Amino acid sequence: MKLNKVAMAVALTAALSSMSAFADTTNGQIEFQGELVNTACGLAPGSSPVSVDFGQIPVSALANGARAGNVHQNIELQHCDTTVAQTAEVTYSPTSVNPTDASLAAFTSGTASGAGIGLRDSASQDVVWG
């Protein structure tokens, strides 16, 4: 009988200790992000998506074709392989382009109708859409 009690105690101890091995382990999370791309350069973390805040621009600041709200924005590249390409190109496709000035992405509705957004390159030249 004494042997039975010892065997029972050993079995119970083994059962209880094995339960802790299968305890809930959802107290942490690891998340991996990134893309494998076949390009000359990759975008540095934090460079995409690009968000440009113009703040509030009064309509009067755009009278007679004037430009306002210039914001300088860099797109940082990393791991560039200059044996693949010596220059970089950025593509943006606006939903509509101003019919009289192809350098402006046009706003066609709302209170901004008739205004547009344009991009300039590093030499301050207008980028023509299309």
Sequence letter at residue 116: G
The dihedral region occupied by 123, where left means phi > 0, alpha psi between -120 and 50, and beta the remainder, is alpha
- Among 63, 74, 68, smallest CA distance to 117 is for 68
Q: What is the pTM of this model?
A: 0.51
Give the tens place of pLDDT for each residue, 59-105. Answer: 888 888 888 888 888 888 888 888 877 887 777 777 788 777 777 78
Query: Rounded to the nearest 5 degrees, what angle is found at the Cα of 41, between the Cα atoms of 38 and 44?
Result: 120
DSSP lists the bridge partners of residue 105 as 97, 117
Of the chain, the percentage scoring pLDDT greater than 70 comes to 79
